[in-house]
């Protein structure tokens, strides 16, 4: 699946308020990966934002084949690791607070240069104008939702993913 697309500018979205209410009412936090439920809850408390999709990111390897596992990588080299991307997709209101939030989100890739991308995936944008996504993925695989990488790089990706969600928690806390 292709995941990355360049960032688009805000457009007028007369459906934002209705879409926001509908999506927030339908949110099932049990479907959200446990380590990021608090972040998703916090973003959805903002009136100028709602979440579309998210994933904590999953590492699969010879000793871990559960595609929904939340386990950290083992401390010893396990060879190749199949990584399923960590990401957050949001829809923002075309407003001053929405613009401020987008500006903060645009800076998140700085914490993991070459491993975090910010953009506007087409399929989200077509359904929800002003949709933006952040993803943790080695840049050479940025247009895919999964990649097979060497163990040492997987450790680095895990580190970047952890800092990524820490930064998102800081951003949403500062916006509350």
Strand segments, DSSP code E, in 29-84 are 49-55, 58-60, 81-84
Q: Which residue has the tokens 């240069």?
A: 113
Give per-residue pLDDT as tens, 70-90.
999 999 999 999 999 999 999
**Where would I find the H helices in 15-57?**
16-26, 37-45
- Report yes or no: 142 and 4 within 8 Å, Cβ to Cβ: yes
* pLDDT higher than 80, residue 1: no
d(CA 160, CA 116): 8
Architecture of domain 16-175: 2-Layer Sandwich (3.30)
Number of C-beta neighbours around residue 99 at 10 A: 15
**Structure confidence at residue 123 as a pLDDT band (50, 70, 90):** confident
* pLDDT higher than 90, residue 14: yes
Specify the 3-state DSSP secondary structure of 156. helix
Average pLDDT over the chain reads 95
* pLDDT higher than 70, residue 52: yes
């Amino acid at each position: 699946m292709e995941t990355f697309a360049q960032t688009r500018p805000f457009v007028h979205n007369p459906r934002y308020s209705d879409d926001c209410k509908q999506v927030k009412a339908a949110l099932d936090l049990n479907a959200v990966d446990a380590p990021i439920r608090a972040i998703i809850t916090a973003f959805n408390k903002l009136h100028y934002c709602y979440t579309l999709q998210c994933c904590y990111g999953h590492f699969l390897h010879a000793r871990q084949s559960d595609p929904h596992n939340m386990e950290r990588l083992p401390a010893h080299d396990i060879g190749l690791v199949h990584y399923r991307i960590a990401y957050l997709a949001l829809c923002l209101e075309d407003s001053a607070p929405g613009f401020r939030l987008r500006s903060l989100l645009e800076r998140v890739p700085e914490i993991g240069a070459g491993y975090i991308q910010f953009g506007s995936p087409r399929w989200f944008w077509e359904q929800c104008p002003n949709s933006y996504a952040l993803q943790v993925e080695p840049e050479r695989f940025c247009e895919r939702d999964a990649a097979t990488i060497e163990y040492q790089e997987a450790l680095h990706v895990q580190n970047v993913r952890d800092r990524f969600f820490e930064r998102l928690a800081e951003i949403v806390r500062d916006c509350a």
